[in-house]
Chain A
């Protein structure tokens, strides 16, 4: 925005102000199968920052015409610019392990977790962060300093610092592991370390910062990160998109309902199935280890008995009684059943869901 005032015929005063706001979000989703060590889990990461660039200037411009061929142009002005870049607090935590971050895979307070901190992503415009980066570059060890969900007192062996000048003498048990490239980690079990229950961890989250052994203070410049927060949420119920009812156990002469919520399907090639495109591969293993397969996987799409019924937007169901459905011979019993949702035309692994549904059958 700019205002221009012509005070005299040759004198122009201009004032302008502007805001340049940018919001960058970097989302990354790794589908199940991406990680061979956890093939059934997907991982989501978000890196985000926003920047504000304020500008203002005020100028006075005087044009002095000496004669037809000679002119003077006098310009007097002042300018202000202020650039801020802000990361969200979750970004300070590197989620390389998949266990921490703004989309945590349910941090279990009762199990060992590893907190990763990438000091390159700290706000380097802060003096105390610059001092911390300098100490790390000089090869000093970094320590975790934490006060929530519980801060141990100075007499505790788990105190953040030792002695009268605790901030200058971090507790050796809190030293972090240098993972290289500015990434430091600390592995611990929250409930053991803080000596609180899981509910307190869920309520308070984990608040901490990172510092060298000597964090300055007491008249010296501080060396520390900004305060970091690791959100700890209770585990969510993650029901698969393909699930049975009853959920716990089924008898072979009980009604069984298979439900497939295609609208929650994460495998791209299986998303948005047409009402006539969803079929189920069904296999029963009997107690004598023999198998009953209604149709092999390539013929499933041409067997109307194996078609999933379209019941609502993106939802398919199939209800049956297992021993009738599999035509179990008299005197034999089903031990367990396996179902796989596939497309009508099955050509490759892309035409099936990633996870089989196994249903155990209880003895009558």
Chain B
């Protein structure tokens, strides 16, 4: 299964290391715990070292936007990684000081090994679907429950519905907002690498493109990355090494929580709310205020997840 972020790939492969997929959203980070959860308030993320260098791993560098964070680890192409070593005990992490108190993950990227040029091409395709979907009431069931609640409250007459929807109109609407929000995400990844080894020099160059769609409609993460690693034995006693990578990631975010996302679809977006106006709407002066096909926003845009997704990029 293509994974946009390498920490997803070590899930289940390192004994004693907990890797919990964060949200399943495209490009989102996972929770990695090497020494368990030692603190309620402090962060428990391990220190990531790539080719001997501690990397930036500030998930919330730009804040938490629409329940989605920015995952700097997703800029690393999993296929550029030669090996991952996980340091757990205090002695092993000692040289990293307090930064290594939550454990250390040492990542070594590929370098040229074999004599002569060697090429590799790798491609993967996968799909993303939620393992379980909530069963939501349809409009008929909702109206039945609403009517019971109305009577139990001691009210009489035709129930007054939220969103100023007339009772008769509500009978003709049944929107499954979860269906409107969830789809099948397609994941694909293409990697090409070339390497060459020798007695005095070696190099590895790789380029990769991945497109990860999540189970939320409109949510995807694309990454284009390149890497060049090289070693040169300058003299018998002096050796130089270069590790470099450039990566561009585009995260097409959608609201994932209660302000027009899946959270709304499962709670405040009611099945009696339509997605669109099905006819032109005029005010008392005869002026056209909503055209047929316009998004229905009488209960605020946050309660129309389809409009929230389509009208916002």
Contact = CB atoms under 8 A, between A and B. Distances in A.
Interface of A: 1-7, 16, 18, 20, 22, 24, 26-31, 33-34, 36, 47-49, 51, 53, 55, 57, 75, 77, 81, 83, 85, 120-121, 268, 348-352
Given A3-B240, A51-B61, 16 more contacts: A6-B237, A20-B56, A24-B62, A26-B62, A28-B313, A29-B313, A30-B312, A31-B312, A33-B307, A34-B312, A48-B62, A120-B63, A268-B310, A349-B291, A349-B293, A352-B291
A22 B53 contact: no
A22 B311 CA distance: 29
26 contacts: A1-B241, A2-B241, A2-B242, A5-B238, A5-B239, A6-B236, A6-B239, A7-B237, A16-B52, A24-B62, A28-B312, A29-B313, A31-B313, A36-B297, A36-B301, A51-B56, A53-B56, A55-B53, A55-B54, A57-B52, A85-B58, A268-B310, A348-B276, A349-B293, A349-B294, A350-B293
Contacts of A75: 95
> Could you tell me the dominant secondary structure of chain A's interface residues?
strand
B292 interface: yes
B292 A348 contact: yes
A6 B312 CA distance: 58
Contacts of A36: 297, 301
A4 B241 contact: yes
B197 interface: no
B215 interface: no
B72 interface: yes
A147 B187 CA distance: 53
Interface string B62-95: 1101000010100100000000000000000001
Contacts of B276: 348-349
A303 B294 CA distance: 25
B55 interface: yes
Nearest to B75: A22
B250 to A, nearest CB: 10
Given A16-B52, A20-B55, A34-B312, A47 B292 contact: no
A5 B237 contact: yes
Interface in B227-281: 236-243, 276-277
A349 B292 contact: yes
A57 B207 CA distance: 29
B293 A348 contact: yes
B76 to A, nearest CB: 11
A131 B294 CA distance: 49
Nearest to A32: B311
A22 B72 contact: yes
Contacts of B297: 36
B291 A18 contact: no
Contacts of B63: 47, 120-121
A5 B311 CA distance: 59
Contacts of A34: 301, 307, 311-312
Nearest to A121: B63
Nearest to A51: B56
B221 interface: no
B292 A81 contact: no
A5 B236 CA distance: 9
A350 B294 CA distance: 8
A19 to B, nearest CB: 9
A301 to B, nearest CB: 16
B203 interface: no
B295 interface: yes
A48 to B, nearest CB: 8
**Which 8 pairs of residues, A with B, have the shortest CB-CB distance?**
A349-B293, A348-B293, A34-B311, A2-B241, A18-B53, A4-B239, A6-B237, A53-B56
B52 A2 contact: yes
Contacts of B58: 51, 85
A31 B240 CA distance: 52
A49 B60 CA distance: 11
A341 to B, nearest CB: 14
